[in-house]
Amino acid sequence: MSDRPLRLGLIGQGIGHSLSPMLHRVGLAALGLAGEYVLFEAPAEADLDRVVGELRAGAIDGANVTTPYKRAAAQRCDEAPPDGAPINTLWRDAQGRLVGSSSDGPGLCLALRRRGVVLAARRVAILGTGGAAESVGLGLRAAGAELVAVVGRRPAAAELVAGRLGAQALRWDAPPPMAVDLLVHATRIGHGGRADDAGLARLHPAWWAGARAAVDLVYATESTAFERFGMARGANVLGGIGGEMLAAQAAISLGWWTGHRPPFDAMRAALLATRNT
């Protein structure tokens, strides 16, 4: 890492609302490092290629990746998780190779551990079939959880992700095969404040009673659509995990880029402050 200010950023589509620049500014300050974190709006894959080229050339020191490029970015790396698994973080290693990894799974596991949730040997079901669902599934499995099911609104996508995670694929309206310790919501429902009670209502109602606890990956300044819907049906929803995970995955990425201990507490405090303003 050079002595010049770091140049970091986020690649994706429709990212103007992202809190990542604020989180990383706080994280850099906590580490005593100079730098900036900017948004790389990428309407097409050609824009992704442009940012990847700047990473390879050393003009950018590290980047996060979000929808819809988590898999495409992995394909452009010299080193990435196997089997085309999605990534959310890019950087160059000491040999100049482009490395990709995902802090989504480790971020969720860290957030859950801080809430006292034990993951080893716990049965988990994931609602969703996108990159976030697969990333957190891999992280939960690495933490010792048993992935029971991947539940999707698109059966073919559920089959694909479930196969990669070694879980059972279920339709959105299918009942749970057994009681689970943790139900993880990883769809786009609730992103950007959009409610979709009709979509949540199509989820089989036995999931709400059949899970010991449920969490939502979406961050909101108040409760999320999933949290409100689940609590109204008597589910034990652990509110705010989406925010905890957002701060954790950002801190982990910053640690990978800088080689410093991730400043999770400072970044979490900054995120909590946005909920109180």
Neighbours of 150 (CB within 10 A): 28
Residues 6+ apart with CB under 8 A from 73: 11, 48, 52, 65, 87, 90, 100
Neighbours of 61 (CB within 10 A): 21
Q: Output the CA angle 108-264-23, nearest 5 degrees.
A: 95
Q: Output the CA angle 7-39-35, nearest 5 degrees.
A: 25
Neighbours of 238 (CB within 10 A): 18
Whole-prediction pTM value? 0.92
Rounded distance, CA 172 to CA 129, Å?
11
Q: Give yes or no for a contact between 181 and 211, defined as CB atoms under 8 angstroms apart.
A: yes
Token digits of residue 139? 């992280």
**In which element (H, E) is residue 7 found?**
strand 6-12
- CA 79, distance to chain mean position in Å, is 20
Token digits of residue 235? 């589910």
Token digits of residue 57? 């050339």
Strand partners, 183: 125, 214
User: How confident is the model at residue 63, as a pLDDT?
Assistant: 98
Rounded distance, CA 55 to CA 96, Å?
10
The whole-number mean pLDDT for each consecutive block of 10 residues of the chain, a chain of 277 residues, reads 86 94 98 98 97 97 95 96 91 96 96 94 96 94 97 96 96 96 94 75 94 94 91 95 96 97 95 77
User: How confident is the model at residue 192, as a pLDDT?
Assistant: 64
Rounded distance, CA 133 to CA 9, Å?
23
User: How confident is the model at residue 276, as a pLDDT?
Assistant: 62
Instruction: Kindly list the structural domains of the chain, giving each domain's residue range(s) and its CATH number in brackets, ordered by start.
Output: 6-102+250-275 (3.40.50.10860), 118-237 (3.40.50.720)
| HSE-up of residue 219 (Cα within 13 Å, Cβ side) | 18
Token digits of residue 196? 């979709």
Rounded distance, CA 44 to CA 164, Å?
27
User: How confident is the model at residue 194, as a pLDDT?
Assistant: 64
Q: Which amino acid is present at 134?
A: E
Residues 6+ apart with CB under 8 A from 87: 65, 70, 73, 74, 77, 80, 81, 100, 101, 102, 135
Q: Name the active-site residue from 51, 63, 69, 70.
A: 70
Q: Which amino acid is present at 4?
A: R
Does residue 70 carry a catalytic annotation?
A: yes
Rounded distance, CA 216 to CA 220, Å?
10
Neighbours of 198 (CB within 10 A): 8
User: How confident is the model at residue 277, as a pLDDT?
Assistant: 57
Residues 6+ apart with CB under 8 A from 212: 179, 180, 181, 182, 236
